[in-house]
């Protein structure tokens, strides 16, 4: 995410970080570089200029030049300003109303339908809501089908009227259906066009007026940079939407949209989409995003994701097993599965401070565990609980069963052995506290 921008900002600030004493010329040069980095990332020109001016003023106001660690103070100023630029506080979603009505808007291809599904899934699994998805695209039957496919995937009902050509009526009927059937959130997916078009605008404005939603979200593809910002402006003038959803942040996005959209339309980014799967949705936190852009990682999100996957009871059970020397390959497999649920490897690595930058060019793929999983799946229950029984002929069988080599099997056995020993050692003193802390 935003690799290029991170790189350039890092280089710009690098000079200051290393210097004991900093001159006014240094600061000015650094800010010039920062501005260039922002412009390269497709940040709006006015926004970039204002940004560096504000940082400069603050730096002068706080006498950066005479502080003990001027470089660090400058980094902090840049970080704070970046956070502010992206909205400052985390903006929540308004779930009032019975039912809560959420209207999705945006151009075709922005990821609106995919996001409608992700949001329904998020509200269902994380907020214990009963959502209803509504297909209001009356032009493309494929769009209605797509929403049905998404709904099936996440177990959420989809309301559609393929014969009805009146989107206002469909949306109103859907809300009535929701009230009668106990749905407490209605997510209305509307028709998009490839470009801004008056008929589309009029149509969505009509739907908006008729259903008076609690939340109108504007979905935009982050890859489109400045275009994204311009489209947002047009939609906002017509709909006065409540928040922005930035999709495709997992791609090679330059970051301009994320950074400029708030200052241009004065509406917060509420969610981000980071992949095609239904769980690739995150609440947008400006401060955490600023940390990531500046290569400081995002430990808070990483820990939150871990907490969602690992519960305390499981951690305690695991601890007991380790103490009794009963940690086996099934437990190992279980751990791998939980880590995988936390998100894509590349995404997780990006959250570790410094790691994103260090491993920027390394191809981290999500199939990294596949070989290990295949080997474990080829083991018998006894082999999984007592790896010591795995002799030469068993190794051969496991290798051929899993499509790997004896060498790979050996490697895994060795790693597992080392890991077991380490776990046992950690049980001794400080390790226990560490495990407890991790389980919390």
Provide the minimum distance between the beta carbon of 407 and ligand GDP in the complex, in angstroms, as a whole number.
36
Q: How far is the CB of 281 from ligand GDP (least distance, A)?
A: 8
Q: What are phi and psi of 277, to 5 degrees?
A: -75, 160
Stretch that binds ligand GDP, among 14-22, 110-118, 119-127, 253-261 (CB under 6 A): 110-118
Among 8, 112, 292, 395, interactor with ligand GDP by CB under 6 A: 112
Cβ atoms of 32 and 215 within 8 Å: the answer is no
Question: From CA 362, how far away is CA 364, in angstroms rounded?
Answer: 6
- Region binding ligand GDP by CB under 6 A among candidate stretches 108-116, 179-187, 317-325, 351-359: 108-116
- List the one residue from 109, 354, 381, 403 that touches ligand GDP (CB under 6 A): 109
The label of the residue with tokens 């400006």 reads 286
Contact 123, 136 (CB under 8 A): no
Residue among 261 and 333 whose Cβ is closer to ligand GDP: 261
CB nearer to ligand GDP: pick between 47 and 116: 116
Task: Provide the mask over 280-319, with x wherever binding to ligand GDP is found by CB under 6 A and - wherever it is not.
Answer: x---------------------------------------
Nearest-approach distance from CB 415 to ligand GDP, in angstroms: 32
Count of beta carbons in the 10 Å neighbourhood of residue 202: 11
Say whether residue 275 binds ligand GDP (CB under 6 A): yes
Regarding 343 and contact with ligand GDP (CB under 6 A), the answer is no
Of the candidate residues 155, 251, 354, 403, the single one contacting ligand GDP (CB under 6 A): 251
137 is in an annotated binding site: no
Q: Which of 6, 160, 231, 247 binds ligand GDP (CB under 6 A)?
A: 247
Site map 187..226 versus ligand GDP, x via CB under 6 A: -----x----------------------------------
CA dist 77 and 40 (Å) reads 21
Least spacing, CB of residue 376 vs ligand GDP, in Å: 30
Identified binder of ligand GDP from the candidate list 71, 87, 99, 111, rule CB under 6 A: 111
Q: What is the C-alpha separation between 58 and 27, in angstroms, rounded?
A: 12
- Which of 273, 295, 356, 387 binds ligand GDP (CB under 6 A)? It is 273
Nearest alpha carbon to residue 205 among 219, 195, 191, 194: 191
Contact 267, 256 (CB under 8 A): no
Check the annotation: does 316 bind a ligand.
Answer: no
Q: Of residues 276, 308, 330, 365, which one binds ligand GDP by CB under 6 A?
A: 276
- Describe the crossing of helices 45-61 and 256-265 by its angle, rounded to 10 degrees: 90
Instruction: Work out which of 6, 26, 114, 378 binds ligand GDP, going by CB under 6 A.
Output: 114
Three-state SS for 94-157 is: CCCCCCEEEEEECCCCCCHHHHHHHHHHHHHHHCCCCEEEEEECCCCHHHHHHHHHHHHHHCCC
Whether residue 10 is annotated as binding a ligand: the answer is: no
If you ran DSSP here, which 8-state letter would residue 267 be given? -
Q: Quick one: tokens of 324?
A: 């009794």
Containing H/E element for 221?
A: strand 215-221
Dihedral sign, CA of 312, 318, 319, 320? positive
Residue 274 is labelled as binding a ligand? no
The answer to the question of residue 231 lying near ligand GDP (CB under 6 A) is no
Strand positions, DSSP E, 300-396: none
* Contact by Cβ (8 Å): 373, 333: yes
- The conformation of residue 277, written as its DSSP 8-state character, comes to S
Structure tokens at 291: 């940390």
Inter-residue contact 210 to 172 (CB < 8 Å): yes
8 vs 305 by CB, closer to ligand GDP: 305
Query: Annotated binding residue at 193?
Result: yes
C-beta of 278: minimal distance to ligand GDP in Å?
Answer: 10
21 among the known binding-site residues? no
427, two tokens: 């049980």
Partners of 189 in beta bridges: 104, 135
Q: For residues 86 and 257, what is the distance between their CA atoms, to the nearest angstrom?
A: 10
Q: How many residues bind ligand GDP (CB under 6 A)?
A: 18
In the complex with ligand GDP, the residue whose CB is nearer, 104 or 375, is 104
Nearer to ligand GDP, 341 or 414 (CB): 341
Residues that bind ligand GDP (CB under 6 A): 106, 108-114, 192, 247-248, 250-251, 273-276, 280
Annotated binding site for GTP: 106-113, 189-193, 247-250
Annotated binding site: 106-113, 189-193, 247-250
């Amino acid at each position: 995410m935003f690799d290029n921008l991170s790189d350039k900002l890092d280089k710009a600030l690098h000079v200051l970080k290393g210097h004991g004493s900093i001159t006014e010329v240094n600061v000015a040069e650094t800010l010039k570089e920062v501005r260039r980095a922002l412009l390269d990332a497709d940040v709006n020109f006015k926004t970039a200029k204002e940004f560096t001016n504000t940082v400069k003023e603050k730096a002068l106001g706080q006498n950066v030049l005479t502080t003990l660690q001027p470089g660090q103070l400058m980094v902090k100023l840049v970080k704070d300003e970046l956070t502010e630029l992206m909205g400052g506080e985390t903006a929540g979603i308004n779930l009032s109303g019975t039912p809560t009505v959420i209207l999705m808007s945006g151009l075709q291809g922005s990821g609106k339908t995919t996001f409608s599904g992700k949001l329904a899934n998020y509200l269902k699994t994380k907020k214990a809501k009963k959502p209803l998805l509504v297909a209001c695209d009356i032009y493309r039957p494929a769009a209605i089908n797509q929403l049905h496919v998404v709904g099936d995937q996440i177990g959420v009902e989809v309301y559609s009227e393929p014969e009805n050509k009146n989107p206002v009526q469909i949306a109103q009927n859907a809300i009535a259906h929701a009230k009668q059937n106990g749905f407490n959130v209605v997510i209305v997916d509307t028709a998009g066009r490839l470009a801004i078009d008056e008929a589309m605008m009029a149509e969505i404005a009509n739907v908006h007026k008729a259903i008076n939603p609690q939340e109108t979200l504007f979905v935009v593809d982050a890859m489109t940079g400045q275009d994204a910002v311009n489209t947002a402006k047009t939609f906002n003038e017509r709909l006065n939407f409540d928040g922005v959803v930035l999709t495709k942040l997992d791609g090679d996005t330059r970051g301009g949209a994320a950074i400029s959209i708030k200052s241009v339309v004065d509406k917060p980014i509420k969610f981000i989409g980071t992949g095609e799967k239904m769980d690739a949705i995150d609440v947008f936190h400006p401060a955490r995003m600023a940390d990531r852009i500046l290569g400081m990682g995002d430990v808070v999100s990483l820990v939150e994701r871990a907490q969602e996957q690992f519960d305390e009871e499981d951690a305690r059970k695991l601890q007991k097993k380790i103490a009794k020397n009963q940690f086996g390959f099934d437990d190992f497999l279980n751990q791998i599965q939980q880590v995988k649920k936390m998100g894509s490897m590349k995404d997780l690595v990006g959250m570790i401070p410094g790691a994103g930058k260090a491993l920027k060019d390394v191809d981290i793929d999500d199939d990294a565990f596949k070989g290990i999983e295949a080997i474990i799946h080829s083991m018998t229950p006894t082999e999984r609980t007592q790896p010591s029984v795995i002799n030469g002929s068993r190794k051969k069988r496991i290798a051929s069963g899993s499509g790997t080599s004896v060498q790979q099997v050996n490697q895994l056995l060795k790693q597992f052995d080392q890991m077991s020993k380490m776990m046992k050692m950690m049980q001794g003193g400080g390790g226990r506290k560490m495990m407890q802390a991790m389980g919390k």
